[in-house]
Structure 1
Amino acid sequence: MTISAVPMFDTSQVQSASAHSVAEWSAIAGARFVPLRLLALDPFSGSIRWRYIEQTCISEISAGAHRVLRTDELISPDDPRHFKVSLQLEGTGIVAQDGRETLMRPGDIAIYDTSRPYTLEFTDEMRCIVMAFPQDMFDVPASLIRRITAVRLPGDDGVGALLSPFLRDLGENLGEWTGVTGMRILRATLDLLTALVYAQLAEPHDHWGESGRAEMRAFRLFIDAHLGDPHLSATTVAKAHFISVRYLQYLFSEEGMTVSDYIRSRRLEHCGIDLSDPAQADLSVQQIAQHWGFRDASHFSKVFKRHFGSSPRQFRASHLGAHA
């Protein structure tokens, strides 16, 4: 067994280790992030090259047939909570978690969560790229990730066709990703992964469409109830529902708008109703605008005219008569 003397979390250079027996492989790969049980038959050989960029580890792994088990008894509350993203480069593999399993062929991508049991099985010689990163680095709620663990994410279509070669280059050129360049490449990779996850969640599996519509109804009700708050924004909506701003914006973008567009549109609709209501004729335009969250009179006048085609005063006059 050859193991680099460089400390595991050294970010300054590429590290490597190789094994020539099952016992050596277990010593090398069995506890790199969290405790794992590895099963294989001798003769066995395997090798790992890895590099840390910040708290994220990118590894290129080559090995013979083997199984990797992350079982309940191996999981401790003190274990680091990581997501792992695997890109199959050679051979095939089976990833199983959360009651699902998927067959991975070269180019395919899968996500799994180290805080819950999972199984990896490789029936022949294999090579893959694995990126492991703390869950709090990823701008996707863990509850959503749970819906697509052990789901095949195709690397030859859509966002996957962008991410797959990106991950391949990342793993095969570990020595190049240093300093600021490495951090930028990492961030770009996570952004592509985020896009891939949301694209997958938008697919009509696991009744996702129904649950997504229910979430949108909840967001709209919350926004309508807080339109008068001048500080209402995508951030406050996301925080109130314990989700990320990115995810909230994604759901609204699926309906062709931003959160800000929706808030502004609903405020303008209410202003239009009030300005055309004779019972509120004693209220000034500014009072009505402020009631619905518009603090700047000039800004309100501009967005109102753009929305309705006339100024607030002209709109009110046309609906209430010349003496309004």
Structure 2
Amino acid sequence: MFDTEFPDMDQYQLDLRTRVYVMGPALLSRARLEGGEFRFSRDAEKIATSSLDLISIYLYLEGTESRCIEGVDQIAETGDIGFLDLTRTSSVSAASYVQNLILPRSLLEGSKRNLDHLHGLILRKGSVANTVLGAHLRALWLAAAEASLEDGPALIDATAGLVSGLLLSGPESEQDQHDLADAQLVRIRRYINRHLGDTTLGPDRLCDQLGLSRAALYRHMAPLGGVADYIRTQRLRKVYLTLCDPSYAHLSVMEVAAVWGFGDTSGFYRSFKRKYSLNPGDLRVYPEVMKSPEATAQRKAPFVTDWLGEVDADQDGKLDA
């Protein structure tokens, strides 16, 4: 489920104790760690290979936990309640004593709200939602020790209903929808821009890694011209800037293009010419004049290199004559 690490294992005497209850479709556990640090994480590779569509809820009973949720650092303290979506990336340095409930996403999807905002959510100690849910999670732990196999699913259904009622109930306001859409778009763009060199980057990869349906992905990317157009535009921009950089002069044009995910030579040259109205090799001749890909893409008149090419052609004709 997670990649785990004990960075202090050689220096300290680690003592990790866990108890786990299987409650119908869910897992309920408590873990206590003494004498060191325990880290666990889910990166993109782990997510792709495990295919777990689960929501994890943490009640921090003792200690402080450091979390990095898709590049955002967080601190969870004793009494807080935290959420992780296991289809999305995270890295955690575990608290010394924590209770964890892992629920299938399907138990929460009957609510009117989407679940995107749960990933990285922390309900702080003292808040109304924390007080209610925290009391329920503590009671659930006590009940689990006495519950029969038949009791487990009913207890978990009640817990999922409480989570939905506290955090997912009610229609989204227009502002809620706007904020969630903006956050999701930032997340999609960030992933794309970090993986431009990967030739498998596309709708299937994005849906798998980001936990989105195709319809949701296309809806979020529509303002940017669509998924394929955005990826192609960002790759072309990276090629443009790299070709203008003297430190990459030892690479051929197609070697640079390949670095940024282009494999088809003719397709790349056509896309580059259509976008910037010049050939990629021209950037190696006049890099100082064309440092800005945006400015070059917007120009209407033929560039100086086009004019020089026409002059050269005329001169060649005269010499031949």
Q: TM-score, normalised by structure 1?
A: 0.48
Q: TM-score, normalised by structure 2?
A: 0.48
Normalized per residue, the structure richer in helix is 2
